[in-house]
Structures are given as structure tokens and as C-alpha cells.
Amino acid sequence: MTTSRTGVDAERFVRDGFAVIPGFKAAGEIAALRARAAEIVDAFDPAKASGIFSTRDESTKNDDYFLGSGTTIRCFFEEEAFDEHGALRQPKALSINKIGHAMHDLDPVFEAFSHGEALDAVVRALGLAEPRVYQSMYIFKQPHIGGEVGWHQDATYFATEPETVTTFWFALERADRNNGCLWVEPGGHRGPLRERFSVGNAGPHLERLDPAPWPSGGAVPIEVESGTLVVFHGLLPHYSAPNRSPVSRHAYTLHAVDGRARYASGNWLQRPKEFPARGFV
Ligand code: FE2
């Protein structure tokens, strides 16, 4: 009954912690974003950067390349991109894990995809009165070597008081169990925040806040067609398996918080005054 013309069922979102909106983005918009991502990767010189992304090895997050990426556009390699001699196993275009984290503000093609009335209507239907989009990520989930992203909650990385971070996950290709789709624990957003990643005087660190285990059963795969928007609560536990299939699984994500909430000074991604996080319109 609460599925408005935004396509989002707000009541179900409150119950399950996520909502799936098929056909949110048109094929032409997706093609434009994919083409622009390919150009960014093509222009990327691996000799100038390290940046292997892994959620399993927190030390990789500690390097300046990652921590300095919140206000710019950088490419990160898959963990398995390199062989034992340090050479790429696959061509560069098939070795990049993701691009992050400010394309939505800095690149015109990404900016167009990341803004508009339709997105604004969704975020408002979910109760974020002053949405602020802090982060964008283009995730490749490459064929054969696409890495696992272990169970986590996105609020771990975007603390606000109260918790408001909301994730927008756009399928840029079909995502299914074969190529590493999202898995979520329906209703799991009503559980505790388990971990907090923050940057302080002691450097970046991941702190265990609650001993609650990650889901061992009851998780469901979110198998969706290209163009689908999956929006989920910052406390919703989710993961995605490695991609061992010959098919990629491109996705694009945005993370928004409510500007009325206090954004933690310990969050790794900080926006300077002259480059503030903006809303969807
Ligand atoms: Fe996540």
C-alpha cells in the first residue's frame, strides 16, 4: 500500500531493511556510465598507484591511496589481479576491482547518473529529509577473479548520530548467484552495529562494537536484472561471494546520510568545507 510512484515500498523497507526497484535506470543511462568507467580505467596508469582493495585485509585500507580517495577519483585493483611475479593475470580492464569515491561530484557522466528527481523521491520516501551523498563506487566484480566482499554493515564506514547511512546499489548488469550477487539478511538491520571503522590519532582501525555473529542462515540472494535499484539500510548485514564465472557483475553504489544527523569526525571520508556533500537534486 505504501509503494508510491517512487517505486519504493517504505513499509517493507522498515520491516526488511531493503527494497528492490526493477527498471529504475534505462539501458541508455547504464551504457553511458559503463562507457565512462571504461574510459577512466583506460586512462589509469597502474605504475602511479597501488590500491588493492580487500575487506579481509584491513591493512590495505591503511595506505594513503585509499584514505586520500574520498574527494577524488581513483582505481583499485582486485586482490587476485597479480600473479606471484607481480604481473597482471588479465588485461588491466579486467583487473580493476572498483573506482571510487567522488565521481558523483567530479565527473559529468557519473554526476548525471547520480542525481535527479527520481532518486530524491526515493530517499525522501525513506525519511532522509536532507540527503547528503558522500560516496560513489563503481564495482566491477570481474570474471574469474572478482573478490568476495565479506559480511559487513555499511554503517561501519559512515557513522552518524543517529544512524542514517543509506546505500543505493544499481545493477549495471544482471547479478545472480553465478557472478556474485548481493546477499542480505532480511530484517537484520534491526540488530546491532557490529563494527566501526574510524580514523583517529592511532590511525585507521576497525573496532568490534558488538559480539553478535554474522548471519549463518536466513540470508537471501538479491538476483536482479540490469537497471534495478536495490536500496538498503546502513545496518543491514550483506555480503557478496567471489565471482568465479566468466561473466562480470558491474554495479554502482551511492552512500547517503541525513544532513540533520551528526556526521562522525572519525569517519574515514571527510569533505572539506569547499567541497561539501550534496543532495540528489
Ligand atoms: Fe556494503
Distance 157 CA to ligand 1 centre (A): 9
pTM across the whole model: 0.93
* Full DSSP string of 185-223: -TTGGGS---EEEEEETTEEEEEE---PPPPSS--EEE-
Confidence grade of residue 153 (pLDDT, cut at 50, 70, 90): very high
Does residue 2 lie within any of the structural domains? no
Q: What pLDDT does 166 receive?
A: 98
Distance 100 CA to ligand 1 centre (A): 14
Distance 256 CA to ligand 1 centre (A): 13
Please state which of the ranges 73-82, 143-152, 191-200 shows the lowest mean pLDDT: 73-82
Q: Which residues touch 117 (CB under 8 Å, ≥6 apart)?
A: 281
Instruction: Specify the number of domains making up the chain.
Output: 1
Does residue 80 lie within any of the structural domains? yes
Distance 253 CA to ligand 1 centre (A): 9
- The CATH number linked to 41 is 2.60.120.620
Distance 153 CA to ligand 1 centre (A): 6
**Does 245 have pLDDT greater than 70?**
yes
Does residue 273 lie within any of the structural domains? no
The mean pLDDT of 240-253, rounded to a whole number, is 96
Report the percent of the chain where pLDDT is more than 90. Answer: 79
Distance 9 CA to ligand 1 centre (A): 21
pLDDT tens digits, one per residue of 193-226:
999 999 987 778 999 999 999 998 889 999 999 9
Distance 11 CA to ligand 1 centre (A): 22
Q: What pLDDT does 2 receive?
A: 47
Distance 154 CA to ligand 1 centre (A): 5
Distance 226 CA to ligand 1 centre (A): 19
Confidence grade of residue 54 (pLDDT, cut at 50, 70, 90): low
Does residue 98 lie within any of the structural domains? yes
Rounded mean pLDDT of the chain? Answer: 92
> Residue 152 corresponds to which cell in the numbers above?
559487513
Does residue 3 lie within any of the structural domains? no
Distance 229 CA to ligand 1 centre (A): 14
Comparison of pLDDT for 238 and 62, the residue scoring more? 238
The mean pLDDT of 33-54, rounded to a whole number, is 82
**Does 39 have pLDDT greater than 80?**
yes
CB 37 within 8 A of CB 139: no
Does residue 77 lie within any of the structural domains? yes
Q: Which residues touch 193 (CB under 8 Å, ≥6 apart)?
A: 153, 155, 156, 163, 209, 210, 235
> Residue 239 corresponds to which cell in the numbers above?
555480503
Q: What pLDDT does 120 receive?
A: 97
> Residue 277 corresponds to which cell in the numbers above?
556533500
Phi and psi (nearest 5°) for 105? -110, -20
Does residue 278 lie within any of the structural domains? no
Please state which of the ranges 5-9, 143-147, 180-184, 256-260 shows the lowest mean pLDDT: 5-9
Distance 218 CA to ligand 1 centre (A): 18
Distance 85 CA to ligand 1 centre (A): 31
Q: What pLDDT does 1 receive?
A: 42
79: domain range? 10-263
Comparison of pLDDT for 185 and 61, the residue scoring more? 185
Distance 32 CA to ligand 1 centre (A): 24
Omega before residue 152 within 30° of 0, cis? no
**Does 186 have pLDDT greater than 70?**
yes
Distance 7 CA to ligand 1 centre (A): 22
Confidence grade of residue 158 (pLDDT, cut at 50, 70, 90): very high
Distance 120 CA to ligand 1 centre (A): 21
Does residue 24 lie within any of the structural domains? yes
